Structure 1
């Protein structure tokens, strides 16, 4: 099936369908790309975008996270947008700090990775790292504290150019599902940028350690995605 860089596709184990149709809700498919997304609940979707744009009266920067509150998903997507996270309020404001991977943990912490090497209050990192933000407030006045959640360098990412984490999802058991900007190699497995691989962490933070699954969770080339970069993941 055909889709744009700002759409979300869903695979149910046997077939593909359109989960989020950006054109239905006013997001232009010209020159824009959804960097990643997180499904919070049955009606709430969080998204981050590659470049700045205006959606109705909402001015969106690539350091922000947008909330979509749906009345319907699929081929007739409908709902409203609001600002969930204002990155410039908490130190994300340079071209290297564009959010390109996103998730929200059950305890409310927001996980992000960035296109370059971020420097936010209390934490610096690399583009293969994942930062955790513990919010005090969200929306137009975002505040809270940063910490290092996942040190990609410690587990073999970043050994080659552009092993940038650009898709992530943490499942309830703590496993971290990852995709990268280009081809990757870590202990026991390698793959391409259309693939998804899994880290079962034995420790996190500055002492991150992983047991990597020996097979890919998702082999993008099997589905004809050789020319595409999978840069958004959600595991239901």
Structure 2
């Protein structure tokens, strides 16, 4: 092109090149780690992208039904060609089994690639105690409802034999609350009073801590108003810092907590006072009135895991949840984290009544 002024003089000619890019970029080498998940809270999805034209500027991933180009979850794009696209994905809401993760990319001209996928094997990892004295499948030795078992994602094993050294709990002990700190350090509560080595009689509203070599009292429920009422026995625990989160055996509020008591609610003790932190029957949780929580793990205010002391038939969206299952609440959405029925926990003695996750 060139230009002319009012006197009729033409300027020099100048040129530019217009690139018409109609070639799709390509995406390949989709990987996800760790895979299998082994109970990992998150996974990393990565892929490689190439483009012969204007360059890759956008990427996205989805699982399940394709939401349409531009509507999936955005990924980070790095590099100058080839490009690396990546995303860290919260895997806690994925149900057990195979899940296909699909990626596509777009170049600066707006051309979308065809999709490429990887299959993620989702495994739930779990530490737990059972309601009664029956071993999970594949575990030998004497069954004990004070023992702690684990599910690795592929097999059960016994990780704490509570009756032997260094634990030495008496035969009548029945663990009904468990919070794992490390392989040798953990908190527990009991279904009945227990004579704990080095402490003496521990009530069923108390929480004790094993530090790797010895027991100590972490929370004395009877000293804080939980004694003398079986409804206030602690039957699910999660310890975060110095705060104890718990559910109760029956429908009685801890001292100072108002409103309708519910054995599916979660309360907290911060060292000075109790409060209700989850009203299970209210929105957005929507658990039925008959639900009774007997296992709890807090991630944060809007993410947590639950198990129930009896089959609960009307968990929103999920429907029937068995008392050997663990479900996950993900900021408004329930999912099944651990399907105990599918893994052979089919007798009443094998119902979960205490658990923790990695």
Q: TM-score range by the shorter chain?
A: 0.7 to 0.9
Q: Which residue matches 1:99?
A: 234
Measured in 1, the distance between the counterparts of 2:147 and 2:170 equals 10
Measured in 1, the distance between the counterparts of 2:300 and 2:287 equals 23
* Cα pair distance change 1:50/1:151, threshold 3 Å: same
Measured in 1, the distance between the counterparts of 2:175 and 2:183 equals 20
* Cα pair distance change 1:172/1:158, threshold 3 Å: closer
Q: Which residue matches 1:226?
A: 346
Task: Kindly state the Cα deviation for residue 55 of structure 1 after the two structures are TM-superposed.
Answer: 1.8
**If the length of structure 1 is used for normalisation, what is the TM-score?**
0.81
Query: What secondary structure, in the 3-state scheme, does the structure 2 residue paired with 1:96 have?
Result: helix
In the TM superposition, what whole-angstrom CA distance separates every residue of 1:190-234 from its partner, at most 9, and x where no partner exists? 211001111123xxxxxxxx3212xx2111112221112111121
Measured in 2, the distance between the counterparts of 1:225 and 1:62 equals 25
Give the one of 254, 258, 262 matched to 1:126. Answer: 262
Q: Which residue matches 1:15?
A: 155
Q: Which residue matches 2:307?
A: 179
Give the one of 117, 127, 137 matched to 2:251. Answer: 117
Q: Which residue matches 1:197?
A: 327
Q: Which residue matches 2:187?
A: 46
**If the length of structure 2 is used for normalisation, what is the TM-score?**
0.54
Aligned positions of 1:67-86 closer than 5 A: 67-70=209-212, 79-86=213-220
Measured in 2, the distance between the counterparts of 1:168 and 1:103 equals 6
Task: Kindly state the Cα deviation for residue 120 of structure 1 after the two structures are TM-superposed.
Answer: 2.1
User: Gapped runs of 5+ residues in structure 2?
Assistant: 1-138
Query: What secondary structure, in the 3-state scheme, does the structure 2 residue paired with 1:126 have?
Result: coil
In the TM superposition, what whole-angstrom CA distance separates every residue of 1:168-193 from its partner, at most 9, and x where no partner exists? 11236952111001111211012110
Measured in 2, the distance between the counterparts of 1:101 and 1:188 equals 24
* 8 Å Cα contact 2:315/2:321 also seen in 1: no
Q: Which residue matches 2:74?
A: none
Count residues with an aligned counterpart: 206
Measured in 2, the distance between the counterparts of 1:81 and 1:20 equals 14
* 8 Å Cα contact 2:169/2:195 also seen in 1: no
* 8 Å Cα contact 1:194/1:219 also seen in 2: yes
Instruction: Indicate the structure with greater helix content.
Output: 1
1:108 aligned onto 2:246: no
Q: Which residue matches 2:203?
A: 61
* 8 Å Cα contact 1:177/1:196 also seen in 2: yes
CA RMSD of aligned residues (A): 1.8
Measured in 2, the distance between the counterparts of 1:158 and 1:96 equals 19
Measured in 1, the distance between the counterparts of 2:168 and 2:339 equals 32
Query: What secondary structure, in the 3-state scheme, does the structure 1 residue paired with 2:354 have?
Result: coil
User: Gapped runs of 5+ residues in structure 1?
Assistant: 71-78, 136-143, 202-209
Query: What secondary structure, in the 3-state scheme, does the structure 1 residue paired with 2:341 have?
Result: helix
Q: Which residue matches 1:76?
A: none
Task: Kindly state the Cα deviation for residue 28 of structure 1 after the two structures are TM-superposed.
Answer: 2.5
Query: What secondary structure, in the 3-state scheme, does the structure 1 residue paired with 2:211 have?
Result: strand
Measured in 2, the distance between the counterparts of 1:5 and 1:118 equals 26
